Structure 1
């Protein structure tokens, strides 16, 4: 591969970003790394996340990437600034679109949905304070159970069960925060559930936190347009399940099992 853009997350979540990069930069080589052995990032504290990120960067830099996309909100907010000093490669993260949410909200009340470690972190609270003109109008919502529905394939293979779980989840949010009308999908797994969220709350707006990443990558580096998949696996999250999920989307790319 010729100076690929490397995109990684703890599972299938980041493939949506891979697909969008491929659409916008068709000649760009892309390295898609699904670190399923580290799933979920959402249960890891800041120190553990920092260790995982350092290890991952060392591994990906062996492929001489032109850029690395940390395709997960939790490490982007919690440790990305800290890990930049360990990498000479340009690093990009994904962040909750708080300002946009507050701008389009009719009620002025919005929510950030993300994994538990992100939602409970001091860095996210600082991020909201820095980026929202009205921080008190931004609810922080633990969506880790929704992320699980994606990573284990439930959303693809058990659609009715998924919709029931999403309905219950949204109903609980609206019970706690009845004025919320805009929610950010601040885990790269959550956009896969967008249609389920919209069915559960047709009057709500759901914003994808990854959309701004693509613009920041510029024109890329001309290559062959190849996408190479690298996967770590665990007993609970194996490569075959990932392959089945990708196939369900009509995606067939080479997946190489690796160990970090």
Structure 2
């Protein structure tokens, strides 16, 4: 049986990573878990996010994945080292790939970052960026309203324009030339974000770079899937399935048929 890449997120945001994995690595099987019952993670204490991430990884390990991708910036910021210490397979987050992509893109050395309260509070992107380029200048802004909008399926053109404009107001006019979408939910809103920030600011989504890094790691370890029949992906969510299914099918289009399965995780409120 083909070993899968396990991808987890606080909700639907990690589907942006899944879409890139399916595009770049069409032979790879994906098992996805969205913790929609407890989304968003951004406002939660770090220890609670670590607990939730452990619970999801413990569930996903039963499928014997060859890699775990934490496709949630908040969980990456506070839980990735904890998860790496607990499992024997490679564990990849989304912050380092996004930081590297921004460093490659910036011309001015001034980078913007938007994310959840938890991600911005952790300074994970600032640390990641300055570990590569110590002189980089970073403007960070928490945008707690955006991920919940996406979780409701409100990401089509014009649906989120007002909340995006409100969320980005403090960054408009700053001397940044690229903006890291530091939450995997935000690429759903890329059109609205680009409209607010203007044509001189390049948006950086970690999804592309994360998929490339997945490919590089699996290739180096000789773990890439053998050519053959296209894989059958599996999708799980911890909450109500109807909205999740609608969003997933809208975002992933005709790439797969989705039948989400509810897993009632222990609630820690």
Determine if the TM-score, normalized by the shorter chain, exceeds 0.5.
yes
Alignment root-mean-square deviation, CA:
2.1
**Quick check: 1:78–1:124 contact (8 Å CA) kept in 2?**
no
Matched position secondary structure for 1:215 = helix
2 CA distance for matches of 1:78 and 1:160? 33
Higher share in helix: 1
Does the aligned pair in 2 maintain the 1:22–1:225 contact within 8 Å? no
Task: Say if 1:106 and 1:19 are closer, same or farther in 2 by CA, change over 3 A.
Answer: closer
| Pairs within 5 Å for 1:148-187 | 148-156=148-156, 159-174=157-172, 178-187=174-183
How many pairs are equivalent? 251
Offset at residue 68 of structure 1 (A): 1.0
Partner of 1:108: 109
Q: How far did 1:241 drift?
A: 0.9
Question: How far is the alpha carbon of 1:54 from its aligned partner?
Answer: 1.2
| 1:231 alignment partner in structure 2 | 237
> Matched residues in 2 for 1:122 and 1:22: separation?
30
Q: Which runs of 5+ in 2 are unaligned?
A: none
CA gap of 1:105–1:23, structure 2 versus 1, over 3 A, is closer
Please give the secondary structure, in 2, of the residue aligned with 1:13.
coil
The aligned counterpart of 1:86 is: 86
Correspondence list, 1:179-258, <5 A: 179-200=175-196, 201-217=198-214, 218-219=218-219, 220-222=224-226, 224-233=230-239, 238-249=240-251, 250-251=253-254, 252-258=257-263
Instruction: Report the Cα distance in structure 1 between the residues aligned to 2:148 and 2:158, rounded to whole angstroms.
Output: 16
Residue 122 of structure 1 deviates from its aligned partner by 5.0
Query: What's the secondary structure of 1:139's corresponding residue?
Result: strand
Would the aligned equivalents of 1:174 and 1:180 in 2 still touch at CA under 8 Å?
Answer: no
Q: Distance in 2 between matches of 1:123 and 1:26?
A: 31
